[in-house]
Structure formats: C-alpha cells, structure tokens
Chain A
Amino acid sequence: MATVSFKNVCKNFGDQEVVKNLNLEIEDQEFIVLVGPSGCGKSTSLRMLAGLEEITSGDILIGDTKVNDMEPKDRDIAMVFQNYALYPHMNVYDNMAFGLKLRKHSASEIERQVNEAATILGIEHLLERKPKELSGGQRQRVAIGRAIVREPKVFLMDEPLSNLDAKLRVQMRAELAKLHQKLKTTCIYVTHDQTEAMTMGDRIVVMKDGVVQQVASPSELYNSPNNIFVAGFIGSPAMNFIDCKVKQHNGQTYLVNEDGFSYLIDNQLADYNDKEVVFGIRPEDISYDTTDTPKENCQQVRVDVVENLGAETLLYVSFGEQSVVCRFMGAPKHSVGNNINIALNPNRYYIFDKETGNSLLK
C-alpha cells in the first residue's frame, strides 16, 4: 500500500500533447477514478505510472520513490487491462501464478496465494481452464485475480468492466467496491463511464484533452462542477444548458433569452450585466409541480418525447429553439404535444461564463 504522486507530468506522442501537466496526489488506500471521454489521455496516464509508457517530462512517485526510470517489474503494481490480456497458452492457475513464480515464491506459497485469491473471486473451479474456455465475466475475474494475488502496492485498472454486458457490469462494480474495502490497496481506476466513476470513486479526476478539469468527491463534482465540461459530463441524463443574457431589472437579476426564457437568480452577477452566460439546470431539478415555485422560475414548454422508465419518466420538452430534458419520479402524466408548465428549481442552478466555460458560482 502506498501513495502515488504525479508532479507536472507531460506526455507527447510526436507533436501531439496527450497529457498536459498532470498534478495529482493520491492517498494511501484511496480508490481514485480517472474519467473522461475516449482519447483524453486516461490510459496514457495510467500506463506512465505502470512504466509501460515513457514520461516526456515531470515526475511520478510511488510512496517516496521516484519511479520515472524504473522498470515496470520493479514498481510493485498490478494492472487489469480492458481486454484482460490473459496469457492464452496458460491455464487460470498459471496465469495467476505467473507473477509469483517470477518473484521466486516457493511452490507451496504460490499455491496458497492463488487459492486464496481464487476463493475471494469465486473462481476455484476454473483453475484448470484455459482463458478461451471462459466466459467474459469469468475472464474478468481471472484478470482481477491475477492482480490481487501478488498483494501489490497499487492496483491500476483500465476500463476493466467495459467489455461486460450491462447487467454484469453493475454486479462487478459492486464487487470491485467490496474488494477494495476488504483489501484497502490504493487503486487507480480508469473509465469513460461517469456512472462507474460516480459509484466507485472516493475521488474522481475528470480529464479532457489531456488536461485535468476537476478533482473532487462524487457529490462535490455533482453539486459544484468547476466548468461546463464537468457539469455536462457528470450526471445522466446530462445537465441542460441554455444560452442567455444577464439582465438587471428593478434591482433583481434575471437570465433571459430570445426564446422567451426568463429565470430569476439570487446571485447578483454585477460584473456580468448584459453579458452572455450559459445557464445550467439538471433534469432532476425540474418538476411539473409549479405551486411553490416563483412564477419567474417557471417556463411554458411543449412535450416532444416521453420516455417511461418505470420508476421515473424522462420528458423531452422544448420552447422556441431550446430543448430541455426533465426527469420526474413516477409514471408520465403528460403526452406528446401537450403544452405544460415546468418549474425550474430556484435554488439548484449553474451559471457558466460563455467564453471560458468556467463556473460563475464559486
């Protein structure tokens, strides 16, 4: 178990800057998730830590040791790959024992460790099989087993669940979380799926184009995103964004636009009078019960699409050119073509600078 630090780490492939000035302090026993759209440099960051990719500049530390030039084998880490990367010519037992054999553990010790890890993951009955005789979920378990059997300082996982079907993914998500509570090994987990990130991470690192956008706990990311990218990335369905202008009127501040949108905010935004901003509101912060909402925060809309998910309903509505998604609990109460009034929660909104995309609420 150990801490991990990235200090001003950069990575270029030729002229392409793939990771730009990554700074990150990961605590001992932490489960940290790197999340971001595909191609944003998550895997590259992880592979630099594993020693599979050279660092263009900066330092990486595991514990107090600088590992920039250390061979992967000497870093005492374990990695789970997206496509599992099991050794196809070895059976499950040998796959899991490979690292222990290289480290010259005794045969009885190896057997004990492999059996222990296999029991934790429920794959004792598969030890004699070759990887090609396993299902996707079983391969996944073997790949995790191969990682935990060595009791490394740090686990690295690169989209380990993305090849599983949806149901299995949800199940494995919970199992991995449980495994981490049990083993307490520092874990760095890469995914492009914000749900995985939100459900698993102690802290989440949101990346875009090789740049860290925000490092925060799931609830902080959800409640106070740094910028419009994080706001739109975290949460499903994604936050609604409405372009508008700040207008002071009778000592109050409104956000208005040409589609007839008008929203009263309690924030003064004095510097922004008459300037363009982006208003954001999450689908779950919209309701159709307008009784308690000031009428300045209500909006008349037309219902375009109704999605009934059983426990909740997604309503795709529009006014003027603007489309908005709303999320209500329970069965749908409206049908397509209806004109309804929706209430935008007057307290839970986000405002971003139109140019920089940064949040104006901090």
Chain B
Amino acid sequence: MAKDKLTTRKIVTRVLILTALTIAMVWALLPIVWMVLSSLKTEAGMFSMPPKFIFKPTFSTYAFMFDEGNFGQFLNNSLIAAGSSTVVALLLGTFGGYALARGNYRGKKHIAFWIISTRMTPIAAAIVPLYLIFANFHLIGSTFGLVVAYTTFNLPFALWMMMTFFAELPPDMEHAAMVDGATKFQAFYRIALPQVAPGLVATGILCLMFAWNDFAFASVFTGHDTQTIPVAASLLVSQTGIAWGQAMATGTVIILPMVIAGLAVRKYLVRGLSMGAVK
C-alpha cells in the first residue's frame, strides 16, 4: 500500500516537472524557431495564417543580404571585434588571474576587487567617457576602437574568472613540478593551465557572447563601414518600414554561431561554470 502511494506520488511529481520543463522550453525556443523558419520563407509566406511549419525553404533573403548588401562586411566586423577582444581578454586575464591567485603581496585582495569593480560599471555610464577618450585618440569609427571598448569590459571579467579558477586549484601540484625541475612559468603553463582549461573555455564563451551581442558600444563607436551585425540589424527598421525577411535572417546569423559554440563546448561550459560549486 505504502509503496503504491509513493509510486503514484513519484509519477505525479515527474509529470509536473516534465510539464514545467516543456513550457519553459517552448517559451524559450518558440521565438527562435519562428525566427529561423521565417528567415527561410518569402515575405508573403511569413505572414500567412495559420503559420506553415512545413514548406519549401528558400535562401533568397540570405543570398540578397550577402550579394547585394554589405552583410559579409558586417559579419566580418563582428567576428574581428568579438574575436580579438576575447583573445586579448583571455590572454591577459589568464596571466593576471594567475598572478592574483598565486602571488603573495600586500593589497592583493584590494587590487582584485578594484579590477572586478570596473566590470560592474553600467555600460551606459562608461560610454560617454570612453567616447571622449576615443575621440581624442581618433578611434571613433574604427574596429580597433571597438576591440578596446570590449576589452575594457571583458578583461576584468576574464581576469576575475581565471583568478577564481586558479585560486581553487591546490598549489601543491605546481610546487611538485617546480621541485621536479620546472621553472615557475613551466609549472604555470604545463601543470596549472591544463587543469583550468574548462574554466578558460567557459570564460572565453562568455567574453565572446558579451562582445558578439553588444549593441550599445557598437552603435556609438562604429561608422558606416565598421558596423557590426546587431547595428546592421537595427538599421533594418526604418521610417519607411521594416525589412522583415532580412531582420529574421540577421537575427538567425547573430544567434546561430553562439548556439553552435555553446553546444560544442557544452561539456566545458558546465564544468567551468560549476568548477567552484562541486568539490
């Protein structure tokens, strides 16, 4: 009897959980699916009621954007800006984070906190001063300027993350390596770094996402030739109307790389982000 009751309760719980998960999934995925499907329809097909889920896809919108417009250029700008700032942030963040985690000097905690506090600044508050500085150095309208802007936010983040990962690593293994004959750098590079690789990947993805998705900086700091995809997408909404087909296709191009990257490194992402949590 008791056993039966328990089983019933278990089933009910199961069903409730699955229902909740299904709702959450539809909630999250429906707009994306709708967007991707729409980008593969003609403008007329897009608004047919009821919406069609089975149809012959057309890549005409994509073809138009790449062939007739500057979309390839924008995609390139986005890749360069997000990619470079991520590489710079990871490189410096890894060294800096290691130094903060392992170094032994006065005021270490204060320095670490000051660094992460710069990441807490709202972007809106940073834009105006950055604009003035960039104007002085003639960086407005250049992709390089955008890389600098992203790095000002990504570097403290990466540094803080990497510091946390290194700090959680017991230092004995590096000590063992040094006694074994390694220099400090070899101990860092060959022993500590491989062990925080999941954290490094997770940090990289988050940096990439911040820069890739950014609209605020890009809309202020880029010019006609250097605009990134999110800026290009916003320009599709004009006074004369909305280019729905292109908007859908652009949205798809913005989302797709991040989804693929996220899926590809999912294992590391989960391990990296929960590195401190499970021990």
Query: For residue A99, which residues in chain B have a CB less than 8 angstroms away from its CB?
Result: 180-181
Residue pair B181, A83 in contact (C-beta under 8 Å): no
**B169 closest partner in A (C-beta):** A88
Residue from B181, B182, B194 in contact with A89 in the complex, judged by beta carbons closer than 8 Å: B194
Q: Is B241 in contact with chain A by the CB < 8 A criterion?
A: no
How far apart are B190's CB and chain A's nearest CB, in angstroms?
A: 8
Q: Is A85 in contact with chain B by the CB < 8 A criterion?
A: yes
Residue from A72, A87, A88 in contact with B179 in the complex, judged by beta carbons closer than 8 Å: A72
Residue pair B178, A71 in contact (C-beta under 8 Å): yes
Say yes or no: A87-B191 contact (C-beta < 8 A), given A71-B183, A73-B183, A102-B186. Answer: yes
Q: Is B195 in contact with chain A by the CB < 8 A criterion?
A: yes
Chain B 181-240 residues near chain A, CB threshold 8 A = 181-183, 186, 191, 194-195
Q: Is B51 in contact with chain A by the CB < 8 A criterion?
A: no
Segment of A74-82, A113-121, A343-351 engaged in the interface with chain B: A74-82
Residue pair A89, B176 in contact (C-beta under 8 Å): no
Interface flags for A16-53 (1: CB within 8 Å of B; 0: not) read 00000000000000000000000000000001001110
Q: Is A103 in contact with chain B by the CB < 8 A criterion?
A: yes
Query: For residue A71, which residues in chain B have a CB less than 8 angstroms away from its CB?
Result: 178, 183
Residue pair A81, B176 in contact (C-beta under 8 Å): yes
Q: How far is the CA of A99 from the CA of B187 in the complex (A)?
A: 11
**B191 closest partner in A (C-beta):** A87
Residue from A52, A83, A87, A146 in contact with B178 in the complex, judged by beta carbons closer than 8 Å: A52
Main secondary structure of the interface of B (DSSP, over half): helix
Q: Is B14 in contact with chain A by the CB < 8 A criterion?
A: no
Task: Give chain B's interface residue range (CB within 8 Å of chain A).
Answer: 10 to 19
Query: For residue A192, which residues in chain B have a CB less than 8 angstroms away from its CB?
Result: none
How far apart are B25's CB and chain A's nearest CB, in angstroms?
A: 35
Max chain A CB contacts within 10 Å: which of B173, B179, B195? B179
Q: Is A203 in contact with chain B by the CB < 8 A criterion?
A: no
Say yes or no: A52-B179 contact (C-beta < 8 A), given A85-B173, A88-B195, A89-B194. Answer: yes
Q: Is A150 in contact with chain B by the CB < 8 A criterion?
A: yes
Q: Is B170 in contact with chain A by the CB < 8 A criterion?
A: yes
Q: Is A98 in contact with chain B by the CB < 8 A criterion?
A: yes
Query: For residue A52, which residues in chain B have a CB less than 8 angstroms away from its CB?
Result: 175, 178-179
Known: A85-B170, A87-B191, A156-B179. 15 other contacts (CB 8 A): A47-B175, A50-B175, A51-B179, A52-B178, A52-B179, A73-B180, A73-B182, A73-B183, A75-B179, A77-B179, A78-B180, A85-B173, A85-B176, A88-B195, A102-B186
Q: Which chain B residues have a beta carbon within 8 Å of chain A's beta carbons?
A: 170, 172-173, 175-183, 186, 191, 194-195
Q: Which chain A residues have a beta carbon within 8 Å of chain B's beta carbons?
A: 47, 50-52, 71-73, 75, 77-79, 81, 83, 85-89, 98-99, 102-103, 146, 150, 156
